Copies of this chain bind each other. A is one copy, B any other.
Amino acid sequence: MEKENTSFGVKEIARRANVSTATVDRVLHNRTGVSEKTKQRINDIIKELDYQPNILASRLASRKIITIAILLPNVSEETDFWEAPLLGIRRAEAEIRQYGVQVISYFFDLNSKESFTENVRLILQGDVHGILLSPSFIEETKQFAAECNERKIPFIFIDSDIPDLHSLSYIGPHLFKSGYVGAKLLTYRLQSNTKVLIINISKEVDNFNYLRIEEGFRSYFSDKNQPNEIVRIDIRETDYQSVARHLTYVFHLNKDIGAAFVTNSRVHTVASFLKNSHRTHVSLIGYDFVKENVGYLESDVIDFLICHRPEEQGYRGVMAFYQTLVTNAPVTRLSYMPIDIVTKENYEFYQN
């Protein structure tokens, strides 16, 4: 029951190379002060033994603390969606705090690009080893990425992606496919003579996320030659009154709407409207496992919720940094989350 196969350590390498452990250490961390010849010799032995550093000892001996910054939208009363990733981040932090990893959190206002850039500035003025963020604003994120690349600070996007900025990883949904799944569920029992309504409720104008989802949604309809007409509406105010007003109008114009698809977590507002206006026969599908939505799932107003495990996203984001910064393991560039389908019957076991 004793440890025996504890493989080879720095000592063994040093012994074989006839040098001290300090020299081996210099090679391992490619610091200066080793002649080309011995360096070569040591590297050969390292390869031969397939040396794996003992993380336990390494982290214990090291006085350095690794700092990861996160930058997410704050949890407003408007939506508590971002609470989930935060929980995952906290969970990851608790697990690896012992290993000398520290997470510092910054939050910005989804209605203010300035607050985003300001927080970016704050993060970059401290010295952090990695940044996990939601790239909510495209132009601002591009600038951020340029700065990080120059300063060689790795960053990871969660929840939505902006390609070609050389992020270390993207962790989040494949939005197009997610919309595609939404369409499948919506049409599964849809009558062919009814119309389908796509609803986008959002203050931001350049929400290219929603566009991807809608593309996927429409793409299913054309792939399957679904005969249903698709109506769409953009609502730029998020309060119930405004949404109700717009919806009343749409439903007035289109008497035969059989199903509605909401491109984000505000589906509960629509559910509320449908319930109040006695239109619960309309199939309703939307996004995210937030409290209000689950309530309407429970009461059969929402048929399905699509989720992308936001908590897991946060957890994985931090863990990906741990992997790359501490254990030096490679990180997958694209880590698409599962597209989960949540119903009244299975929601109680769902893990966000």
Contact = CB atoms under 8 A, between A and B. Distances in A.
Interface residues of A, number: 40
Nearest to A187: B189
B2 A65 contact: yes
Given A343-B181, A351-B338, A64 B2 contact: yes
Contact of A338 (B180, B344, B346): B346
Contacts of A337: 349
A28 to B, nearest CB: 17
Interface stretch (A39-47, A54-62, A103-111): A54-62
A32 to B, nearest CB: 21
Nearest to A182: B345
Contacts of A57: 60
Interface string A173-184: 110010011001
A99 interface: yes
In the complex, which of the residues A57, A60, A344 has the most CB atoms of chain B within 10 Å of its own CB atom? A60
A67 interface: yes
Contacts of A2: 63-65
A1 interface: yes
A181 B3 contact: no
B127 A1 contact: yes
Interface in A301-333: none
A3 B343 contact: no
Contacts of A162: none
A60 B59 CA distance: 11
A338 B349 contact: yes
Contacts of A344: 184
Interface string A126-144: 0100000000000000000
A100 interface: yes
A250 interface: no
A75 to B, nearest CB: 24
A188 interface: yes
B56 A98 contact: yes
A65 to B, nearest CB: 5
Contacts of A336: 349
A10 interface: no
A341 interface: yes
A143 B188 CA distance: 48
Contacts of A174: 349
Interface in A15-66: 54-57, 59-60, 63-65
Given A1-B65, A64-B1, A346 B341 contact: yes
Given A60-B57, A98-B56, A340-B340, A67 B349 contact: no
A161 to B, nearest CB: 14
Given A3-B100, A177-B348, A189-B189, 9 more contacts: A1-B67, A2-B64, A56-B99, A177-B345, A338-B349, A339-B349, A341-B341, A341-B343, A341-B346
**Top 10 A-B residue pairs of the complex, sorted by shortest distance between their CB atoms:** A189-B189, A339-B346, A341-B341, A181-B345, A56-B60, A184-B345, A338-B349, A181-B346, A3-B65, A336-B349
